[in-house]
A and B are shown apart, each in its own frame.
Chain A
Amino acid sequence: MRQSLWGVLVAAIAMAAPAHAQSTVKVGGLLETSGFLASLGKPGLEGAQLAVDEANAKGGINGKKIEFININTESDTNKAVSATKRLIEQDEVVGIIGAMNSGSSYSIIDTVQRAMVPIVSNGGSRGIVLPADKKQWVFLAPLTDVLVQSVMMNDMKKKGITKIALLNADSGFGTSGRGELEKHAADYGIKIVIQETFGNGDQDMTPQLTKIRGSDAQATVVWATGPGQAIATRNYRQLDIKHPLYLSHAANDFNFLRLAGSSADGILIPSSKLYVVDELPANDSQRDVIKNFVQQYEKKYGQKPATFAGNGYDAMKIILAAIGKGGTDKKKIRDAIEGLKDHVGVTAVYTYSPTDHFGAQASSVVLLSVKDGKFVIAK
Chain B
Amino acid sequence: MSEFVQLLISGLMVGSIYGLIGIGFTTIYNVTGIVNFAQGDFAMVGALSAIMFYAAGSPLWVAIILAIILVGLLATLIERFAIRPIGTHVTRGIIATIGVGVVLQGAAVLIWGSDAQPMPAFSGDRPFNLWGTTILPQTLWIFGTAATLMVLLYLFFQKTYPGKIMRACAINPFAAQLMGIRLNAMRTFSFLLSGMFGAIGGIIVAPIALTQYDSGIGLGIKGFVACIIGGFGNPIGAAVGGLLLGVLEAMSSGFISSGFKNAISFVLLLLFLSVRSGGLLGDLEKVGR
Contact = CB atoms under 8 A, between A and B. Distances in A.
A170 B259 contact: yes
A38 B118 contact: no
B114 A2 contact: no
Contacts of A214: 3
Nearest to B9: A206
Nearest to A253: B115
Contact of A36 (B94, B214, B262): B214
Nearest to A2: B277
Interface string B120-144: 0000010100000010100000000
A218 interface: no
B17 A203 contact: yes
A207 B115 CA distance: 25
Interface residues of A, number: 44
Interface stretch (B74-82, B176-184, B249-257): B249-257
Contacts of A203: 14, 17, 205, 208-209
A259 B11 CA distance: 23
A5 B232 contact: yes
A6 B91 CA distance: 11
Contacts of A23: none
Given A38-B114, A39-B212, A170-B259, A8 B13 contact: no
Interface in B4-18: 6-7, 9-11, 13-14, 17
Given A1-B232, A2-B277, A206 B210 contact: no
Interface stretch (A191-199, A281-289, A293-301, A324-332): A191-199
A273 to B, nearest CB: 23
Given A201-B215, A207-B254, A259 B232 contact: no
Interface of B: 3, 6-7, 9-11, 13-14, 17, 33, 35, 37, 90-91, 94-95, 98, 102, 109, 114-118, 125, 127, 134, 136, 205, 208-210, 212, 214-215, 217-218, 228, 232, 249-251, 253-254, 257-259, 261-262, 273, 277, 289
9 contacts: A1-B289, A2-B273, A8-B37, A35-B214, A36-B214, A204-B250, A210-B6, A227-B116, A231-B209
The 8 tightest CB contacts between A and B, nearest first, are: A203-B209, A38-B114, A201-B218, A227-B116, A206-B10, A207-B254, A1-B289, A197-B258
